[in-house]
Chains A and B, each alone.
Chain A
Amino acid sequence: MSTHTLSVLVENKPGVLAHVAGLFSRRAFNIASLAVGPTHDERVSRITIVVDGATTPVEQVKKQLEKLVRVLKVVELGNDEAIERELALIKVKADPALRGQLLEVAGVFSANVVDMSPTTLVLEAVASPAKLDALLAMLDTYGTCELVRTGRIALARGSGVITDQPELAATLEAETAA
């Protein structure tokens, strides 16, 4: 899946998430993952949306998002230019005989043990999506009982910040006129 990560700054007002999610459903765009949270500016929330480029016209998504009145900024973060993270909590079968091996796996992936029962462990992992996928595949061989995983969050590398980016319409005109 060729994923595209969009960072969307929105006004922190009631109903904004419904507007954004509603746009995806109305225009038959698919959301692969979505994460919402506050920013350092209390008036602004940041939504990180991952879409599958194979099934969803990403340029259209960006332009339609920009049209929403409560959306302040839409920026696509290229996979190479951004730090991407997801958090997962995984409850995995852990017979006492296998516990040592599991802890070793957890160590390799820098996952923390956050709970333990006689037959299970709960691991907490923060990683890039690919690394997290690899961890989950490993854990599956022991038996995953339950999994919860957040949407992806992402931030551009380097000193640039999202509000420096030019407006989409200007970019578009510059591209076609060039």
Chain B
Amino acid sequence: MEELTGAQALVRSLEEQGVEVVFGLPGGTILPTYDPLLSSRVRHVLVRHEQGAGHAAEGYAWATGKPGVCMATSGPGATNLVTALSDAYMDSVPIVAITGQVGRPLIGSDAFQEADITGITLPITKHNELVTDPARIPAAIAEAFHIATTGRPGPVLVDVPKDVQQASAPWRVTDWPPAMDLPGYQVPGAPSGAAIQAAAQLLLQARRPVLYVGGGVIKSDSYADLLRLAELAQAPVTTTLMARGAVPDTHPLALGMPGMHGTYPAVAALQEADLIVALGARFDDRVTGKLADFAPRAKIVHADIDPAEIGKNRTPDVAIVGDLRLTLAGLADAVAQAISVGAAPDTSDWRAVLDGWKRRFPLRYTQHGDGPLKPQYVTERLSAMTGGNAIVVAGVGQHQMHASQHYTFTRPRSWINSGGAGTMGFAVPAAMGAQVGRPGELVVAIDGDGCFQMTAQELATCAIEKIPIKVLIFNNGFLGMVRQWQELFYDERYSSVELGTAIPDYVKLAEAYGCVGLRCDRADEVDAVLDKALAPSDVPVVVDFRTHDREGVFPMVAAGHPNDDILLGPEFSADEQAAASRREMELG
């Protein structure tokens, strides 16, 4: 038995847990822990704002599949993590946040930099704990990682008072992880074989099936079996914003993204489907549109590891609760088995309809050679020049939708963004975390000018720590998505939405942060500028793309409307819109 302090036990626990990196910023009550951290093998990345630490931990988790770790002091340090915790909760991202707290005798006294962070984060963490016994630190840390990474992943916060860090904490752990005390925590394991058989039967009988693939497929690393299932059943696949890359966009069965800004084939296929197999997806309002009118004729198979998602928004015909990896392997096996004894799924007519829709109603935009620069064009050039092999990170807004729509994703964990929470400012720090997790790879943040200004300070962190992310700002001088809604729904009354393109000067800003700054406002310069930007570098590169300020994101289903009301946008004629609205099901 070794005699350690609570702080030493905490750092030792992180080491035992296999943590490579902690993103954080020290302050009064977490100081005891920063002392042993200095001599630990765990790398610490000193951020410029704790929100950046939280999003970096998320980006690291998205990119690697391993839990991200962030650390902050009490009070404002901890509250600055709140947005990232909320984001991680909404998108089921496994992160562990460690915060200092005022000493036990001071708790509740409104002490300097005291905040009830376990109370504040209670509704936005999977679990949290205030550790009041130094001897509990190893178990508390082990439990935090176990809870964050198992079942439906999510953020866990561990709050450690300063005097608990300073107190003696004999290290009694002989085997890691130490005994955990979680009698009420159950991780759904193997799905029921009967449910899988029932789902397989429905899939084999369906004439118009769609696999509705959500983030759970990425988190469970089950894309190989997903592809096997799709190909065996000849079932078209739509990948949500959380699942882009789960199936290559180049695959003939891929329909792209569903939902508010989904592709016409994906949105319409769900509306016309006779069977929807939801895999690690949650029937989010951005996907379903008006819920009562979503996929009115479809039977539903809903597979999820979280029992509470089953029936929350749409009642399924078959529910499969359990690890999606096992579910998808089981489903693919069951379908293969049925085919081997004569079952013959026939979706050829359906696929012909969808291929017709893909041809007639693609994502469409126009880039004139000498006209204003279109964000879609920049994204497509990026996609072509990187061969779909970059790790793309987006903030929230028009640039995010354009990136999701127009980048051709070819592999899982190559798309990182803020989905459920819709956190502006996510991209730069999340890209930083992704790059730390996958140092050899090209990490490109596509960001809006509004988003970028919320967390741009992490460029300093990246420059100093030699984290060479590429940041492409789609600078249209507006809060673009807000502008689009004001144009469509508020009579073009543009209230407090114009940021201007000139301030700040993003090239100078980049240079001030020790990064390379570039600017591009012409289509014929995009390739040359991207070439320069994407070249290997020691420091981040920031490109100020001056994009068209009136470009919208289409297709679009207005919030609260049925998906049947999908608008193709100004690039389509009235006749084409009418044909799309009728959902002409001509073959081929």
Contacts and interface: CB of A to CB of B under 8 A. Distances in A.
Contacts, number: 71
A40 B306 CA distance: 31
B321 A18 contact: no
A172 to B, nearest CB: 6
Contacts of B185: 69
B123 to A, nearest CB: 4
B178 interface: no
B182 A172 contact: no
15 contacts: A10-B184, A15-B129, A15-B130, A22-B122, A63-B307, A63-B310, A66-B186, A67-B308, A69-B126, A72-B183, A72-B184, A173-B191, A173-B195, A176-B317, A177-B192
B127 A69 contact: yes
Contacts of A64: 308
Contacts of A169: 186, 188, 307, 321
Interface residues of B, number: 33
Given A22-B122, A169-B188, A60 B198 contact: no
Interface string A1-40: 0000000001100110011001101100000000000000
A63 B308 contact: yes
A14 B130 contact: yes
B321 A173 contact: yes
Nearest to A23: B123
B105 interface: no
A111 B312 CA distance: 44
A172 B118 contact: no
A43 to B, nearest CB: 8
B269 interface: no
Interface in B173-199: 182-186, 188, 191-192, 194-195, 198
Contacts of A68: 184
Contacts of B310: 63, 172, 176
Contacts of B118: 15
B122 A71 contact: no
A50 B133 CA distance: 35
Given A22-B123, A172-B307, A11 B183 contact: yes
B306 A67 contact: yes
B235 interface: no
B347 to A, nearest CB: 24
B318 interface: yes
Interface string A149-178: 000000000000000000111001110110
Interface of B: 118-119, 122-123, 126-127, 129-130, 132, 147, 182-186, 188, 191-192, 194-195, 198, 306-308, 310-312, 316-321
Given A67-B308, A169-B186, 5 more contacts: A11-B183, A59-B311, A63-B307, A66-B308, A73-B184
Contacts of B147: 69
A18 B119 CA distance: 8
Nearest to A73: B184
B188 to A, nearest CB: 6
A70 interface: yes
A122 B306 CA distance: 50
Interface of A: 10-11, 14-15, 18-19, 22-23, 25-26, 59-60, 63-64, 66-73, 167-169, 172-174, 176-177
Given A60-B312, A169-B321, A172-B310, A71 B195 contact: no
Q: By CB atoms of chain A within 10 A, which of B119, B123, B186, B308 has the most?
A: B308
A-B pairs, top 8 by smallest CB distance, nearest first, are: A63-B308, A176-B319, A26-B123, A177-B195, A72-B184, A169-B307, A177-B194, A69-B127
Nearest to A178: B194
Nearest to A62: B308
A11 B184 contact: yes
Nearest to A22: B122
A15 B307 CA distance: 24
Nearest to B156: A69
A173 B123 contact: no
B81 to A, nearest CB: 18
Nearest to B143: A69
A167 B186 contact: yes
Nearest to A43: B183
Contacts of A14: 130, 132
Nearest to B123: A26
Contacts of A69: 126-127, 147, 182, 184-185
A84 to B, nearest CB: 25
A150 to B, nearest CB: 25
A79 to B, nearest CB: 23
Contact of B318 (A66, A70, A176): A176
A103 B191 CA distance: 61
Contacts of A73: 184
Contact of B184 (A71, A174, A177): A71
Contact of B122 (A18, A168, A177): A18
B122 A172 contact: no
B574 to A, nearest CB: 42
Contacts of A25: 123
B321 A172 contact: yes
A12 B555 CA distance: 52
Given A14-B130, A15-B130, A69-B147, A177 B198 contact: yes
A10 B318 CA distance: 31
A25 B119 CA distance: 13
Contacts of A66: 186, 307-308
A66 B194 CA distance: 23
A69 B118 CA distance: 14
